[in-house]
Amino acid sequence: MIAWLRAARSANFYKKHKRLSKAFIVELFRDIRQNSDSPSNNLFHHIKEPVGGAAWSGISFFYEREPAFLDLPPAHSKERICGFVVLVEYRDHVALFKSNLDVPSDFKAEYFQRVGNDKIEAAIASADATFEQIQLRNMATSKYALRSKTLEADNLESVVGPSGASRFVPRGYRVRRGEAHYSATPSSGRISLRSDRANCEQLVHWAVLVIDMLNDGHAPASTFIRAFARSVSLDSISPNVLPTYMAVDVPRLTEALFESEPMQLLHYSGGNAVLLNQGQINAVLSALNTAFPVKRVKGELRIIQPDTNLQIGTLSIGKTRISLRRFAIPDIENLRIEPINRVAGEEKPGVPLKRYIDQNNLYTILFSDVAIAYLDGALYRDDSIADGQQFLSYIRTDPRLKAATSEKGMFSPSHDVFDGESIFRVIVDNIAARDELLICDDLGDEWADFIGLDGYSQPKTISFYHAKHGQLTLGASAMHIVVSQAIKNLGRIKLSSNEIASKLPKWERTYTNDHIETLINRVLRGAAKNISEQIRSALSSPDTIRRVFIVTSSLSRDQLEQSFAALGSGKAPSPHFVQLYWLLMSYFSACSEIGAFPYLVCQP
């Protein structure tokens, strides 16, 4: 009955980790049947059938499963599903075609090995490829950063500039090569060709063609794909470069639980399984949504719980991947994850959540070398970081910040200006000096500490200013709150008539802080009665520039330059500087994504 098979040219490609004997494949197919409910007789069952220099094996049968949309009582009849698996072995690779059946993850881990991103790029994203779609993932772990984005066009290279591209990793793409349309997802090794459905022999021939491309593709990758962060091998890491932070990919886990697959979480205790509801799942996701420090202690890479400073897990760096050897936090203890519509062939009753996170590479790891990050099961390097010039291009200085002693200063009923040694005064007198309209929006439902508008310049500008005072440091702790505030309010910088109208009563009053009403007008420059007209005029101009400023006394540009110079000479940065770098890059990236120009103003 193999002659009945008609399937898409779409498969997961792996390198062989071990030789697959006939006995192993027979045992594999037996396990797939045993992990299925009420399997029928096989529609087809073939072991190591030769086709040219390749061999293929396949199995297909009907089985039962509960419909995802029904909660059936025990003993009720279920839906009848048909599935198939076809394995094509050629040279040192395997192609896995499947539908409604799957190979157990333990078998994959033992016999299959991930195909390198560079191999897939050389085969699919070669120089003659025209990119039509690309899915990107940010290298940053900050919860405030744009995590992912999808771009699509007839020719992406002609409409997407390289600026900021190196901070993103390609997770999947679709290309056009002549008349052929290929899709690839490097993290899973999935490669597809848009075509009519094919019979078994055609699938085998296509798999052989792709494997030859993976083995023999030495052509350079497309200039477009080379603009993004590049995949590098784990053995390229210097021995003195160590992991500093690990973060679980909570967005992808959330997607698996609620959207794409979907999956379900169950708590196992004493042989009983209890299904978690949405509120309980959200609590688990919240517990996982943090950056866990990683420290090397006695040769072991320990994952630390930041609240308690206790070890909760360990990382292991192998030749081909970084694995979670242990990850034990109370919130995921005894939790298992399984598909609501379980695909036959997989283990039941699901797998421990920790193991699922590890097997699916649902974590990002940052290193003492800020140029590299491990995500989606691969190591990537952002070559734009080399000398820090891109980072430093966002940094401006103001010498008055050296003398700042507070963020806002002291207040009394007689105050009609902010104190001279406050960052607020530096913003009013220096940084926002050119703004014809300057409003203090501090406290309450604030969008920024100050909102400025320059309607005389060409083009006009709308600016948000966020202030932060602190001791001079290269650590990230002092910046977390102000970066969070700046990113959270990015959507406000577009402004709207209704939002402005709701703000006017606040702006018409004098400034009050800590229950002390001062004589400081919130509208520090410009006419209060014409605010709506001035903002409306700026919004009506198609080329109005939007800017976001973080103004802080806790950073020095000289210290930043020295840190990048030390990086260039091969010295490893401190973990605090790595965290600061990624935190600020998330701010710069988030602003760029909405078309705003980000700046950080600090001490010289």
DSSP code for 320: S
pLDDT at 140: 66
CA distances from 318 to 237, 295, 322, 324 (A): 12, 17, 6, 11
The Cα–Cα gap between 464 and 118 comes to: 42
What's residue 347's pLDDT?
54
- Does the reported pTM lie above 0.85? no
Residue 145 reports pLDDT greater than 70: no
- Assign 3-state DSSP to the chain and report helix, strand, coil percentages, each to 5: 30, 35, 35
What is the number of other CB atoms lying within 10 angstroms of the CB of residue 457?
Answer: 13
Condensed to tens digits (0 to 9), the pLDDT of residues 251-288 reads 778 877 876 567 888 898 877 888 888 889 989 998 88
User: Sorting pLDDT into bands at 50, 70 and 90, what band is 396?
Assistant: very high
What are the extents of the domains in the chain? 1-237, 242-368, 390-603
Q: What's the 3-state SS for 384-420?
A: HHCCCHHHHCCEEECHHHHHCCECCCCCCCCCCCCCC
Helix (H, G, I), strand (E, B) or coil at 541: coil
Query: Given this model, what pLDDT does residue 73 score?
Result: 85
pLDDT above 60 (res 346): no
Q: For residue 439, what are its two tokens?
A: 């409003």
Cis peptide before 220 (omega within 30 of 0): no
Quickly state the pLDDT bin for 247 (edges 50, 70, 90): confident
Amino acid at 45: H
pLDDT score of 476 more than 80: no
d(CA 413, CA 253): 53
Q: Are 206 and 334 in contact (CB under 8 A)?
A: no
Q: Which of 187-191, 300-304, 539-543 is least confident?
A: 539-543
Q: Which tokens in the block code for residue 490?
A: 């990015």
Where is average pLDDT lowest: 490-494, 571-575, 580-584? 571-575
CA distance 63 to 260: 23
To which residue do tokens 């008609």 refer?
6
